[in-house]
């Protein structure tokens, strides 16, 4: 346990596990507080890894969560490579082994998307498959014991305060980044299908619109519609990203709290082992469900982008 080997308090242990490996720029004259209590003043602006949560905060918007980026790209590449290898070696007849598993996932996603999205777009099903598998793999990292990979990273770098988070979906930058991409696709397809005028009309003339003989009421209704539809539109990516982040962050927090029991004593360590196993079994359902929900909501939003409400007015 990192908390035992380095003498961390329970609070310090939790904060260490929840801090991302952050790379960013610190300004000239910045005072860096070292682990031994000394202070280093930077002679010039420096791009470096943050040594504390405060340094990560001070790096500002330009900072990058290296661990989130690395694990996201690695797991995405793993998914692409696995499915590419299966497609290259696919055989006719009754599939076996990995091919059977991949075909099961593909059929499941394809059927789910077909039930939700009733328009013609050959990109939606592959996008749904990518989202489901990618988010599932990122969520799956939560089942790796919380100390294994961070401890290995600290050993490899010989830095006892090296930050290393391995679950990308516990970082709101990752989940909101995916959600914003979905949002931009939704706007793009909405304008593509309805035209810019049709998109603006949907924002201003829905859900309330007066009949032609009472057209003057629209002077009041159009601003109300615009506010309601804009709030509803912006809420979609925010809720999509925060839902995934919140559930995975809570799951990771529970694993960390259970891990603290191992440092209390033998009896509590046994209790912690049982709780960890039980929560891991339940968490398999959580990580799968969250990946499924993200895929389904993405498909629903794409379908909404294609739906035309102009016939209502």
Q: Are 271 and 258 in contact (CB under 8 A)?
A: no
Marked catalytic residue, from 52, 173, 243, 263: 243
Reduce the DSSP state of residue 268 to 3 states and report it: helix
**Contacts of 58 by beta carbon, 8 Å cutoff, 6+ apart:** 26, 30
Which one of 87, 100, 239, 310 is the catalytic residue? 239
- CB-based burial, 83-121: b 16+ in 10 Å, e otherwise: beebeeeeeeeeeeeebeebeeebeebeebbeebbeeeb
The answer to whether 239 is a known catalytic residue is yes
Query: Is 243 labeled as catalytic in the residue annotation?
Result: yes
Half-sphere CA count of 134, side-chain side, radius 13 A? 20
**Burial of 211 from C-beta contacts in 10 A (0-12 / 13-18 / 19+):** exposed
- Active-site hit among 87, 247, 263, 310: 247
CA–CA dist 153, 161 (Å, integer): 10
The yes-or-no answer on residue 247 being catalytic is yes
Query: How would you list the strands of the sheet with 64-65, edge to edge?
Result: 46-49, 22-26, 64-65
Angle between helices 97-116 and 124-140 (to 10 degrees): 120
Contact 161, 134 (CB under 8 A): no
Contact 274, 123 (CB under 8 A): no
Burial class (CB in 10 A: 0-12, 13-18, 19+), 38: exposed
**CA dihedral sign, ordered 160, 163, 167, 170:** positive
List, by residue number, the catalytic residues. 239, 243, 247
């Amino acid at each position: 346990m990192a908390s035992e080997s380095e003498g961390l308090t329970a609070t310090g242990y939790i904060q260490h596990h929840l801090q991302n490996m952050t790379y960013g720029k610190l300004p000239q004259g910045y005072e860096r507080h070292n682990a031994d209590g000394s202070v280093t003043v930077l002679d010039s602006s420096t791009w470096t890894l943050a040594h504390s949560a405060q340094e990560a905060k001070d790096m500002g918007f330009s900072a990058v969560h290296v661990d989130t980026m690395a694990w996201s790209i690695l797991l995405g590449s793993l998914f692409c490579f696995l499915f590419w290898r299966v497609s290259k070696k696919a055989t006719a007849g009754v599939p076996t082994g990995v091919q059977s598993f991949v075909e099961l996932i593909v059929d499941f996603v394809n059927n789910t998307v077909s039930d939700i999205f009733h328009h013609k777009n050959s990109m939606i099903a592959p996008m749904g498959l990518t989202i489901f598998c990618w988010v599932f793999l990122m969520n799956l990292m939560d089942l790796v014991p919380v100390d294994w990979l961070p401890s290995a990273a600290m050993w490899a770098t010989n830095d006892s305060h090296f930050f290393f988070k391995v679950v990308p979906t516990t970082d709101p930058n990752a989940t909101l980044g995916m959600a914003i991409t979905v949002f931009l696709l939704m706007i793009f397809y909405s304008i593509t299908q309805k035209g810019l005028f049709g998109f603006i009309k949907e924002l201003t003339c829905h859900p309330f619109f007066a009949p032609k003989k009472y057209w003057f009421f629209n002077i009041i209704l159009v601003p109300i519609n615009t506010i309601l539809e804009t709030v509803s539109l912006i809420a979609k990516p925010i809720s999509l990203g925060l839902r995934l982040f919140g559930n995975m962050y809570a799951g990771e927090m529970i694993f960390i709290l259970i891990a603290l029991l191992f440092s209390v004593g033998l009896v509590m360590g046994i209790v912690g082992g049982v709780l960890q196993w039980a929560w891991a079994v339940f968490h398999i359902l959580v990580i799968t469900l969250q990946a499924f929900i993200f895929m389904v909501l993405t498909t629903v939003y794409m379908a909404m982008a294609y739906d035309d409400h102009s016939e209502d007015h």
